[in-house]
Amino acid sequence: MPKTDPHDLPEGKITPFTCPECGGSLWKARTGNMVRYTCHTGHKYSAQSMLNAQNSEVEAALWTALRFLKERALLLEEMARKASSSKYALSEKNFHEQAQEVRKHAEVLGQILQDGTRAAENPAARKPIPKNSAATKSAATRRRRQK
């Protein structure tokens, strides 16, 4: 149960991490082989439960980013149409190009999210996570080129 006294800080060393539930700072304490993260309001996590909570946060943030990218593309197309009707050909072209670029980013992000959803629905088909992001990026690029 979360604490009520804000001056009663958790045991251990403060970490650069924030609590997935309340956004507060997290302290790390070790008991034998167990590591426990506790925020100042009393939310507690093991290393594994922190990872799980962070995964959920990252996925939610990516879906939000995808929604913003799609909204941005729609707004840019609207601005292009407006520029077209007011005979600003250069602005129209510029807005269309920006909208295309944003759509490409949205497509890449949407593909990553769909791949993640498929992997979550079918864990047996999940590929091992590459050790560096460059490998992840080149794999994503190869998949796009194969289409």
**Nearest distance from residue 65's CB to Zn ion, in Å?**
24
- Torsion-angle region of residue 23: left (phi > 0), alpha (psi -120 to 50) or beta? left
CA distance 43 to 17: 13
**Nearest distance from residue 10's CB to Zn ion, in Å?**
10
Closer Cβ to Zn ion, 21 or 101, answer by number: 21
> Which residue, among 131, 71, 79, 63, has the nearest Cα to 102 in the 3D structure?
71
Give the type of residue at 116: G
Closer Cβ to Zn ion, 39 or 69, answer by number: 39
Closer Cβ to Zn ion, 38 or 95, answer by number: 38
Q: Residue 14: beta bridge partners? A: 27
CB atoms within 10 A of CB 34: 9
Closer Cβ to Zn ion, 26 or 69, answer by number: 26
**Nearest distance from residue 61's CB to Zn ion, in Å?**
18
| Interface with Zn ion (CB under 5 A) | 19, 21-22, 24, 39, 41, 43
**Nearest distance from residue 54's CB to Zn ion, in Å?**
13
Closer Cβ to Zn ion, 29 or 108, answer by number: 29
**Nearest distance from residue 33's CB to Zn ion, in Å?**
24
Contact 83, 92 (CB under 8 A): yes
Residues in the chain: 147
